[in-house]
Amino acid sequence: MVEWQGITKLKRIGRSVNWRRRRREEHDQEDVPAPRALALVPDLDARADSLLATFTEDLAESDTGIEFVYRSLDRVRERSRADDVLVILDETPLGRQAFRASREPIETSWARDLIRNGDAGLHSTPHSIDPAVAASVANLCSLALRLDVARHDSLHDPLTGLLNRRAFDELLAASCARSERYGWTFALVLIDLDHFKSVNDRLGHAAGDAALRAVGADLRGRLRAGDAAARIGGDEFALLLPSVEGSIVPELVRRLEQAVEDTVPQASITFTVGAAQAPADAIDPRLLFRIADQRLYEGKRR
């Protein structure tokens, strides 16, 4: 929700600035002197509000904050005719980060000195950018990265770092559509921690959380490119494994049990698995999930 509210606000800002620009243009046509506009450097006639309107519209349309930051730095360098442009961002939850135009590495003495000793904000060489423009661009870059964080948080479980149920459901639907259209084979694997409630009762919720984090860390570290893992319930996890062989699941469970044992030795946790294949078992995401869930339930009854 934070992401969309932020984007909507940016669009409103961009429209407002464009409206003021159009009004000024109409004013100019009436031969009435327009207010003196800010410039990036004294010998340029670009107006600051026009530049910032471009930035806000660009941010509203950017897929990622990182993409927006680098595109903005390149635009500032081109408009200001600077040799180099760098932005330093330093705030919660981003920490101190630096980005250089053209995605150049931080290897020049000018850039390294700024990283070590410079203030947060937009920097350029050999001449400085108008302070008002520099501050606005830096703020937009910061907002872009915060939107990235908000986007990530909206799709991931905060305890384990895995995808959350909402993100997983969307990915499962997309995988089923791909399988139906192209015959792509994948497995949906549901994993449940057996008697997890007793771990919380015996060892406390901190131990239970540690066990769940261990599962998340092991899955993130061991799954292959193209695999997906999610925490879809309190003690239930789900995997999407393209072109998976049946032998991989028992080995995966063994690794998970070992990871939990190493983290919480007293937990004595085991896992039950239920799996379904697409398109062999089903192509509809709800039906595929129901089949895997039924097989999980049958496994628990054994």
CA distances from 245 to 68, 111, 219, 254 (A): 41, 50, 17, 16
Domains of the chain: 2-155 (no CATH), 165-301 (3.30.70.270)
Tell me which of 235, 262, 281, 293 is the catalytic residue: 235
- For the sheet with 186-193, list strands across it: 228-231, 236-242, 186-193, 271-278
Regarding beta strands 236-242 and 95-100, do their DSSP bridges make them parallel or antiparallel, or are they unpaired?
A: unpaired
Look-up: residue for tokens 């479980």? 157
Q: What pLDDT, on the 0 to 100 scale, is given for residue 16?
A: 44
pLDDT tens by residue, 250-299: 888 899 999 999 999 988 899 999 999 999 999 999 999 999 999 999 99
- pLDDT of 53: 83
pLDDT digits (tens, 9 = 90+) for 28-63: 444 434 333 333 444 344 556 777 788 888 988 898
User: Is residue 119 annotated as part of the catalytic site, yes or no?
Assistant: no
Question: The tokens of 254 are what?
Answer: 């063994």
What is the SS3 assignment for 191?
Answer: strand
Separation between Cα atoms, residue 168 and residue 176, nearest integer Å: 12
Which residues of the chain are modeled with pLDDT < 50? 1-21, 23-24, 27-45
pLDDT of residue 22: 52
Give, in degrees to the nearest 5, the angle at Cα 137 between 131 and 139: 100
pTM greater than 0.85 (yes/no): no
Determine contact, residues 191/273, Cβ cutoff 8 Å.
yes
